[in-house]
Structure 1
Amino acid sequence: MLAAQFMALLDVFIVNVAAPTIGSDLNASGADLQLVVAGYAVTYSVLLITGARLGDRFGHGRVHLAGLALFTAASLACGLAPGSTELIVFRLAQGAGSAVMIPQVLSLIQRTFVGEARMRALGAYSAVLAVGAAAGQVVGGLLVGADLLGTGWRPVFLVNVPVGLFLLVVGRRVLPLGAGARQAPARGLDVSGLVLLGAAVSLVTVPLVLGQEEHWPLWSWLSPAVGTLLFALFCGYESRLARRGGAPLIAPRVLRHPGMGLAVLRIGSVMAVNGGFLFVLTLHVQAGLGYSALRAGLTFAPTAVVFGVVGLTWRRWPAAWQRALAPAGFTLTALSVAEVGLALRGGDQGGVWVYPAYAGVGVGLALAFSPTLTRALAAVRPEDAADASGLLATVTQLGQLIGVAAFGALFLNRLESLGALEAYTSSEALLTCMFALAATAALGAVSGLVLRRR
Structure 2
Amino acid sequence: MAILDVNIVNVALPTMRADLHASGAGLQLIVAGYTITYAVLLITGARLGDIAGHRRMYHTGLAAFTVLSLACGLAPSTWPLVGFRFLQGAGAALMTPQVMSMIQRGFTGPARARALGLYSAVIAGGVVVGQAAGGLLVSADLFGAGWRTVFLVNVPIGAALLVAGPRLLQRDERPRGGDLDLPGLLTLSPAVLLFVVPLILGHELGWPLWGWISLVASAAFLAAFVVVERRVAARGGRPLVSPRVLRAPGLLPACGAIMLAPGSWGSFLFTTTLHLQGDLRMSPLESGLAFVPCVAAFALVGLNWQRLPARWHRRVIPAGFAIAAAGYVCVGPLAGGGVAYELLTAVIGFGLGVMSIIMTVGLEHVPAADAADASGLMLTLMQISQVIGIATIGTLFLTAAESSGSTRHAEYGTGWALGAVALAGTVFTVILARRRDGARTT
* Bin for the TM-score computed over the shorter chain: over 0.9
Which of 344, 356, 365 does residue 357 from structure 1 map onto?
344
Q: Do the aligned residues in 2 keep the contact of 1:57 with 1:180 (CA within 8 Å)?
A: no
Structure 2 residue aligned with 1:16: 10
TM-score by length of 2: 0.93
Q: Do the aligned residues in 1 keep the contact of 2:195 with 2:214 (CA within 8 Å)?
A: yes
1:216 paired to 2:216: no
Which of 88, 110, 119 does residue 116 from structure 1 map onto?
110
Instruction: Give CA deviations for 1:212-246 in whole Å, capped at 9, x if unaligned.
Output: 11111111112112101211210121112111101
The alignment of Structure 1 onto Structure 2 pairs a total of residues equal to 435
Structure 1 residue aligned with 2:440: none
Residue 34 of structure 1 aligns with an amino acid whose one-letter code is Q
Structure 2 residue aligned with 1:377: 363
Q: Do the aligned residues in 2 keep the contact of 1:145 with 1:293 (CA within 8 Å)?
A: no
TM-superposed CA distance for 1:206, in Å, is: 0.4
Structure 2 residue aligned with 1:427: 408
Residue 303 of structure 1 aligns with an amino acid whose one-letter code is C
Q: Percent identity?
A: 51
Q: 1:64 to 1:319 in 2, by over 3 A?
A: same
* Inter-partner Cα distance in structure 1 for 2:126 and 2:95: 16
Structure 2 residue aligned with 1:172: 166
Structure 1 residue aligned with 2:375: 389
Question: What SS does the aligned partner of 1:102 have?
Answer: helix
* Inter-partner Cα distance in structure 2 for 1:442 and 1:39: 32
Give 1 or 2: higher helix fraction.
Answer: 1
For residues 95-106 of structure 1, what are the structure 2 equivalents within 5 Å?
95-106=89-100
Instruction: Give CA deviations for 1:256-307 in whole Å, capped at 9, x if unaligned.
Output: 1111110110000001011101111122222443321211211211112222
Q: Do the aligned residues in 2 keep the contact of 1:337 with 1:435 (CA within 8 Å)?
A: yes
TM-score by length of 1: 0.91
Structure 2 residue aligned with 1:340: 331
Which of 421, 432, 437 does residue 440 from structure 1 map onto?
421
CA root-mean-square deviation: 1.9
Question: What SS does the aligned partner of 1:179 have?
Answer: coil
1:240 paired to 2:256: no
* Inter-partner Cα distance in structure 1 for 2:198 and 2:119: 31
* Inter-partner Cα distance in structure 2 for 1:180 and 1:127: 31
Structure 2 residue aligned with 1:74: 68
* Inter-partner Cα distance in structure 2 for 1:230 and 1:100: 23
* Inter-partner Cα distance in structure 2 for 1:194 and 1:69: 24
For residues 321-332 of structure 1, what are the structure 2 equivalents within 5 Å?
321-332=312-323
Structure 1 residue aligned with 2:390: 404
Unaligned runs of 5+ in 2: 436-442
Structure 1 runs of 4+ with >4 Å offset: 450-454
TM-superposed CA distance for 1:450, in Å, is: 5.2
Instruction: Give CA deviations for 1:312-370 in whole Å, capped at 9, x if unaligned.
Output: 111112334322222111111112122232211xxx3x122101101111111112x11
Residue 359 of structure 1 aligns with an amino acid whose one-letter code is A
Residue 433 of structure 1 aligns with an amino acid whose one-letter code is T
Q: 1:26 to 1:289 in 2, by over 3 A?
A: farther
Out of 283-292 and 216-225, give the one that drifted further.
Answer: 283-292
1:188 paired to 2:163: no
TM-superposed CA distance for 1:180, in Å, is: 5.2
TM-superposed CA distance for 1:120, in Å, is: 2.4
Q: 1:147 to 1:415 in 2, by over 3 A?
A: same
Q: Do the aligned residues in 2 keep the contact of 1:47 with 1:99 (CA within 8 Å)?
A: yes
Unaligned runs of 5+ in 1: 1-6
Q: 1:150 to 1:309 in 2, by over 3 A?
A: farther
